[in-house]
Structure 1
Amino acid sequence: MNFKLLNNPFNLVDNKRDRFILILIVLIFSIFFINLFKPWNIGRWYSDSGFIKFLRLSSYGIVVALVLLFTQFPLRMILKQQEFKIKTYILWFLIEILLISLVYILMYGNPIGNFVNDFLFSLKYTVLGICIPYSFALLIIYYKNQKAEIKQLQTKIAQTPAKKLIAFKDDNGKIKFSVLAKDLLVLESTDNYVSVFYILDGKLQRELLRNTMKKMEESFKDSSVIRCHRSFMVNSENVEFVKKSGKKLYLKVHLMDKTVPVSEKYSSLFLALLS
């Protein structure tokens, strides 16, 4: 297992609007799922029927939504938890499950009686019941954000002036050289240096710049130069050919002999951008 992945940022619920979408999807999904399929014979847990049963079954989904409303807004504000890594959000999700199970015990169980058994019973069905709608909601948010990011990049690329000169600075912020935006091809990082490939007088040229790819990415956030790999950035306007081999994606850039790899992290975004 790649434990380094757990340290990556988890930003699907950074935006308040996305948090409301999460809660709303979980609420609607839970109410419909419980009332239509009545999992774990939940419809027979009480001797009710008709509209009363509908309200009781729906209340399980409403409890989940109210707890999520608390954890995603007041609790995050109280604990000053604005940003997550994957590992911290997994912990946050477990806390949400525990809180939901506890509320179920207080509302439907007997907290004065055998609390431990009732809590474990509630915890089991909470885990089984929340994982599907929660995962579905995060998936919807992910694809919504991907679509918005692609649209934003396309707009920025369309607005990039073709004759604009791009200044390249070293790690001290000093300008070393400038290249026409339309003539820039590829940036390739090696340790603390970046190789800049560009066209001059119709020929491929290369300049070595002492800087990091992270700083380069920040400076190109409003241009057609896009990060496609841990070690590469490419000017999408000069991509001539895109090849997909299995799960791997490769780019052929104008005048360059070797292909540029696209890592899995950027492949879906890059394919959509070039389509």
Structure 2
Amino acid sequence: MIQFLNKPYPFEYSVKKYTWITIGTTLFVTFFLFFFQPFGLYVFDGLNLFIISLEFGLATGAVMAVSYFLVIPLFPNFFNEENWTVIKHICWVVMLLINIAIANTLLMYLLDLGSISWRAILISLGQVMALGIIITTIIVSLDYLRHFKENQKEAQKISAHPDLKSDSNKTISLFSENDKEQLHLKTEELLYLTSADNYVEVVYQSGKKITQKLLRGTLQRAEEKIDQPGIIRCHRSYIVNLHQVVAVDGNAQGYELNLRGLDKPIPVSRSYKKDVIRFLKGT
């Protein structure tokens, strides 16, 4: 269970997508309350029932709109898909439900249907959670499995085609920011580079041994120095030598590259996926 919660989960920000989700949720809440009349709404009827149901639907939609179109853009690093997991997504949805419960409590107070108190908030939270948690768990699980299966299927196609040949005579030269440290490698020796705070960690084969070396600098600077086909950025934090790929696996966010001699897979983020696939397929 813990392993599943820590699995990568797709988080693609789309204004169009979240606009439709917000509108759809507003309509769903409105008509659910109107037709099923839970939480004591059966005391109302006709137009009054519809208006009250609509007000709760709009309150829910307003909370979602603020969350999607204000909170997410304000904290892009936190909502970065490359670090997004199942547990983060569940916590994010739970926070949405808590805020919706608070908004419902305030609305009930404004409509003179209740008072503002911790007890009122907890009751409202229980009502929202009763409806939201089950739906959220089902949607998150099904969405995760759908993305996972799609990417696994595509990864199998990629794995079947690679015809990767590197020019082993070429040399890659990497320098630290102050040029005091240097590292010269044959193309076939390089596995990948990854960012490590103010350093770049270079992972390569030295004989039969996997070796790491830290060079002060940025991944951006290293990328500019490397100008060889098949050695490309595959993730915000990784540059990979695609000539070293022995297999491709899929996960809910995209793909993972298995490199020769390494147990640790290298992630491929959505923004770099096309370039990686194009090279691996030889197109």
Q: Give the TM-score normalised by structure 1.
A: 0.50
Q: 2:107 aligns with which of 96, 104, 107?
A: 104
Q: 2:127 aligns with which of 112, 118, 125?
A: 125
| Alpha-carbon displacement from aligned partner over 1:74-103 (angstroms, at most 9, x marks no partner) | 6789xx655537599589547623532333
| Alpha-carbon displacement from aligned partner over 1:31-56 (angstroms, at most 9, x marks no partner) | 565567x3x7358523425x775554
Aligned length, in residue pairs: 233
Where do 5+ consecutive residues of structure 2 fail to align?
Answer: 80-87, 159-165, 225-229, 251-255
| Alpha-carbon displacement from aligned partner over 1:12-63 (angstroms, at most 9, x marks no partner) | 4876566545534533553565567x3x7358523425x7755544443322
Does the 8 A contact of 2:64 with 2:96 survive in 1?
no
Deviation at 1:65, TM superposition (A): 0.5
Q: 1:176 aligns with which of 171, 183, 193?
A: 183
Q: 1:211 aligns with which of 205, 212, 215?
A: 215
CA distance in 1, matches of 2:143, 2:23: 12
CA distance in 2, matches of 1:133, 1:216: 41
Give 2:192's aligned amino acid: L
Does the 8 A contact of 2:191 with 2:244 survive in 1?
no
CA distance in 2, matches of 1:13, 1:223: 26
Deviation at 1:262, TM superposition (A): 2.2
Where do 5+ consecutive residues of structure 1 fail to align?
Answer: 155-161
Percent identity at matched positions? Answer: 14
Alignment-derived partner of residue 45 in structure 1: 42
Alignment of 1:142-161 (within 5 A): none
Q: 1:195 aligns with which of 203, 210, 223?
A: 203
Does the 8 A contact of 2:232 with 2:239 survive in 1?
no
The structure 1 segments of at least 4 consecutive aligned residues displaced by more than 6 Å after TM superposition are 137-141, 162-165, 203-207, 267-270
More relative contact order, 1 or 2 (CA 8 Å, 6+ apart): 2
Alignment-derived partner of residue 78 in structure 2: 84
- Residues 99 and 72 (structure 1 numbering): CA distance in 2 closer, same or farther, change over 3 Å? farther
- Residues 267 and 13 (structure 1 numbering): CA distance in 2 closer, same or farther, change over 3 Å? closer
Does the 8 A contact of 2:191 with 2:204 survive in 1?
yes
- Residues 176 and 268 (structure 1 numbering): CA distance in 2 closer, same or farther, change over 3 Å? closer
CA distance in 1, matches of 2:92, 2:63: 16
- Residues 128 and 207 (structure 1 numbering): CA distance in 2 closer, same or farther, change over 3 Å? closer
